[in-house]
Structure 1
Amino acid sequence: MIELKSPAEIHRMHVTGRFVAEVLSEVGRLADVGVNLLDLEHHARGMIKRRGAESCYWDYAPSFGKGPFRNVICLAVNDAVLHGLPHDYTLRDGDVLTADLAVSIDGWAADSAHTVIVGTAAEEDLRLIRATEEALEAAIEVARPGNRLGDISAAIHAVASGYGYPVNTEFGGHGIGRTMHEGPHVPNKGRAGRGLKLRPGLTLALEPWLARTTDQIIYDPDGWTIRSADGSRTAHSEHTVAITEDAPLVLTRRESENPVTRGASAGRPATKNA
């Protein structure tokens, strides 16, 4: 079901979105060489509990998962990109870490993800992360009344193609509001001018994710963590966005975030302190 939100409801989602951004910023700050993923999980749990928020991931049990998810944040390293199950892994120099978080406050959800590099950054990893960030900003730019869902999908695919990265269509963005996953599904590849017409009040979690050399995925034995099928590194950028009468409103923008300029030759370094 697709539910349009009132300005007051979007404001309540924005409250949640600011908190999601705060937690992700803190996790990114703490991610360092020698830090265990379980330490990051427990830190996120503490922040959520103190805020009185509710994890959208705890007990999440979709058809593609293996049993209920019993963590509050997804943490994926290197070739892992989606639904990363926190486990006993100590971060190493040069690791690529994706943190993905969705919580609900007073009945309204927000969802966001970003990828950082721990320690020494390889240029090819910076480039991959930047591609997802540019794709996300391009998607946000066209999330305006009168455009169509296909315009968002096409914008993401255009940036990925410009960088030479393949695009997986099995997992993409989605509607969000009273629950983490609402309609519509937002593929990361599509045709401009097609699909649902965008209207004020529509709230979407837009999430381009890429693997360097494949659009195929595999699952870990844990039944949750999704990796690139060929072991190539990955990156994932996501924001919850509200379509308004005026400009798109990003509900999960991090304070330290400097939105990239599409097509720029150089941007902010995607390190853990970015």
Structure 2
Amino acid sequence: MIYLKTDDEIELLRKANLLVAATLAEIAKIVRPGVTTREIDTLAEQFIRDNGAVPTFKGFPNPYGPEFPGAVCTSVNDVVVHGIPDDTPLKEGDLVSVDCGTKIDGFCGDSCYTFCVGEVREEVKQLLRVTKESLYKGIEQAVPGHRIGDIGSAVQQHVEAYGYGVVREMTGHGIGREMHEEPYVPNYGRRGNGKALKNGMCIAIEPMITMGSREIFLLEDRWSIATQDKLPAAHFEHTIAIHHGKPDILSSFEEVEKIEQQQH
């Protein structure tokens, strides 16, 4: 069942997603060599709870093993998604994708941003730039009358032109009172295929793009998903509402990008 949201529900979703955006901005202030992903996680959980919300990832059930232990997913370098925060310090040149979810007033927020740790290689910067561009190209397709395949096709065509891989096994998703609702939103596909998009649909679009092969595997922790060729991956995610005939981005990278510019 795809639940179409009312204007009031969309505003509640916006509130949850702007809190995710603010959390990612707090994280942007501390991402540097020497910081551990556990420190990122602790900061995120405190900030989310101080703002009257709960971190939706904490204790998230896993059909293959233990519940997720962190408030955010921290995926470093070749880890694509679902990285567990730990005490390993980040190093100069690393990437860390921080995926964050909140629930406040009964509605969920979900967004991800891939951060550079210190100075990263030029080819890695390009991977991040192209992945982020592909997110916005996917969002542009999210209008009534289009289909889910139009979103995936736009993402896929943009990144494959650079020789990058599109992870198939993980997708975006509907979002509302639950963090994962129907429909699933793959980052690949054919135009004109899949479920029709309608006003009131709220979805999380999240390209997960690899520098090399798209082949992935599950690490021993039963959560982290990594690239088989050990090359880095990038992950950017916005939650959007299809609203008044166009995509309305409910999350935001504005503050994060401002902080990044100040740091460089």
- Under TM normalisation by the shorter chain, which class is it? over 0.9
1:255 Cα deviation after fit: 2.7
Any conservation in 1 of the 2:62–2:68 contact (CA below 8 Å)?
no
Residue 215 of structure 1: aligned partner: 214
**Identity level (%):** 37
Q: Which amino acid aligns with 2:21?
A: A
TM-score by length of structure 2 reads 0.96
Any conservation in 2 of the 1:168–1:215 contact (CA below 8 Å)?
yes
1:256 Cα deviation after fit: 2.8
2:189 & 2:111 partners in 1: Cα distance?
22
Residue 82 of structure 2: aligned partner: 83
1:215 & 1:54 partners in 2: Cα distance?
33
Q: Which amino acid aligns with 2:23?
A: V
1:200 & 1:40 partners in 2: Cα distance?
36
1:62 Cα deviation after fit: 3.3
1:92 Cα deviation after fit: 0.8
Structure 2: which 5+ runs fail to align?
Answer: none
Residue 245 of structure 1: aligned partner: 244
1:71 & 1:271 partners in 2: Cα distance?
28
The answer to whether residue 191 in structure 2 is matched with residue 192 in structure 1 is yes
1:160 Cα deviation after fit: 1.1
SS at match of 1:221: coil
Residue 57 of structure 1: aligned partner: 57
Residues 55/147 of structure 1: CA separation in 2 closer, same or farther (3 Å cut): same
Residue 131 of structure 1: aligned partner: 130
2:246 & 2:185 partners in 1: Cα distance?
19
Q: Which amino acid aligns with 1:134?
A: E
1:271 Cα deviation after fit: 7.7
Any conservation in 2 of the 1:119–1:271 contact (CA below 8 Å)?
no
1:13 Cα deviation after fit: 0.4
Aligned pairs (5 A) from 1:254-269:
254-256=253-255
Any conservation in 1 of the 2:22–2:255 contact (CA below 8 Å)?
no
Residue 18 of structure 2: aligned partner: 18
Q: Which runs of 4+ in 1 moved over 2 A?
A: 254-258, 268-274
Residue 47 of structure 1: aligned partner: 47
1:66 Cα deviation after fit: 2.0
The answer to whether residue 174 in structure 2 is matched with residue 175 in structure 1 is yes
2:35 & 2:179 partners in 1: Cα distance?
29
1:178 & 1:26 partners in 2: Cα distance?
25
1:110 Cα deviation after fit: 1.2
The answer to whether residue 57 in structure 2 is matched with residue 66 in structure 1 is no
Residues 187/249 of structure 1: CA separation in 2 closer, same or farther (3 Å cut): same
1:36 Cα deviation after fit: 1.2
Q: Which amino acid aligns with 1:251?
A: L
Q: Which amino acid aligns with 1:192?
A: R
1:158 & 1:113 partners in 2: Cα distance?
21
1:273 & 1:141 partners in 2: Cα distance?
30
Any conservation in 2 of the 1:116–1:271 contact (CA below 8 Å)?
no
Pairwise CA RMSD of aligned residues? 1.8
SS at match of 2:83: coil
1:269 Cα deviation after fit: 11
Residue 95 of structure 1: aligned partner: 94
Residues 232/37 of structure 1: CA separation in 2 closer, same or farther (3 Å cut): same
Q: Which amino acid aligns with 2:17?
A: G
Residue 205 of structure 2: aligned partner: 206
Q: How many residues are paired up? A: 264
TM-score by length of structure 1 reads 0.92
